[in-house]
Structure 1
Amino acid sequence: MVQQVEAVYPESDGQPMADNTEQFAWIVKIKENLEILFASPADIFIAGDLFWYPVKGNPNIKQAPDTMVVFGRPKGKRSSYLQWDEDNIPPQVVFEILSPGNTLKEMTKKLQFYQRYGVEEYYIYDPAKNDLNGLLSSGDSFEVIEEMNGWVSPRLGIRFQITSDTLEIFSSTGQKFLSPVEIDQLREQECQAKEAALQEKEAALQELEKERDRYQELLAKLKQKGIDADNL
């Protein structure tokens, strides 16, 4: 009897997540801002550069999207996304950030993979060219989104705005996606504003306390002179 060898699903291919600092910065910005945006729902899983294996028993069929979003799966740690262990739910949204090292052959294979294994929305951004492309699933194929400037993702609710030199992404409430440094700076500004407001409030209370003390002193002087302030 031939013993069946269980398939091994590698967690890494030994390749770096990004080829340059700009590509890495965009991967982090999109992934982390989506984590913030969907922090409350317990059933939305978001990952960056995580191997996705859609077919059990075939570890050669895999991709590691720069960012992927899975609705209907719990948050939590994973060494890879084994779809058969995830109620067979594929990532519905994926992002790829291009670098000079990406080849047409490589990107074609990714498009075919995402199309075949159930991705609903596929976004590709080239920071060097400030070029954003999007595709939506339509049956067994993808349809190109003709106008990406101002496009709102059906699944994520985020809006893409292409300026003259960069891409800006906004949540449904209008909050702009920021880098970790910008988020920290904004938090510091908010802390400083709260501190200033608190100091202003404390100063106003101190001034009110002084006014009360002066009023009490006046009442005491009037009383010493035999004047009843209630009859004034």
Structure 2
Amino acid sequence: MSMTARPPVLPDAADDHVIYPSNVKMPQGEKHHDICLNILLFLQVMYGDDETMHAGGDIFCYYIKGNPRKSFAPDAFVIRGIDKKPRKVFKLWEEPLDFRFALEVWSDSNTELEKRQKFALYQDTVRALEYAELDEDTGKLTGYRLNEDGLYEEITPESNGRMNFNELDAELCYEGDLLRLYRNGEKIPTLAEALYKK
């Protein structure tokens, strides 16, 4: 059953002259890039005809006015209720966001503290209805879903190893160094697979 997201908790600060950067991020390796690019393309194709859903990724989301250090940038996300026009950044006090799904891809450069802090942010402040973490080095995928108490519960994988994400109406799994989506038991092809399918 789909839950109705509560509005994020957004502390305010009176400062209208703060710069909110759109392009300050640490570079990632090619594997990380390929994983994120493919899942982003999957999501954009899935929701391409749905004007109520915005799929994107790798964009800064600022959640406290006046404090540009308070930000997060999901590797992929699905937001309900906003148009599809490209943004440089999101400012949550100007445009409250209903995150249905968010993904973070971790590497060995990410600390356990960073992972715990991001988990708490998505659960308590962003309130993404479903959250997925992928360790790109081990291939371990972990999924969470907000329960009625507003806390994340881990999603149990199916017997085939896939994980059902209700908000995507799809199953997600890690195969062949990529995150793959399945709908109705059918694997959604990558762009290369679709182009070269015989």
- Give the TM-score range, shorter chain: 0.7 to 0.9
Structure 2 segments unaligned to the other structure (5+ residues): 1-13
Q: Give, in angstroms, the shift of residue 83 of structure 1.
A: 1.9
- Does residue 106 of structure 1 match 2:114? yes
Contact 2:15 2:65 in 1 (8 A): no
- Does residue 143 of structure 1 match 2:146? no
Q: Distance in 1 between matches of 2:89 and 2:133?
A: 22
TM-score (norm 1): 0.69
Which is higher, the Rg of structure 1 or of structure 2?
Answer: 1
Q: Distance in 2 between matches of 1:112 and 1:99?
A: 19
RMSD: 2.4
Q: Distance in 2 between matches of 1:79 and 1:10?
A: 9
- Does residue 15 of structure 1 match 2:26? yes
More helix by share: 1
More strand by share: 2
Three-state SS of the structure 1 residue aligned to 2:99 is coil
- Does residue 123 of structure 1 match 2:135? no
Residue aligning to 2:180: 168
Structure 1 segments unaligned to the other structure (5+ residues): 190-232
Q: Distance in 2 between matches of 1:12 and 1:90?
A: 23
Greater relative CO (CA pairs within 8 A, separation 6+): 2
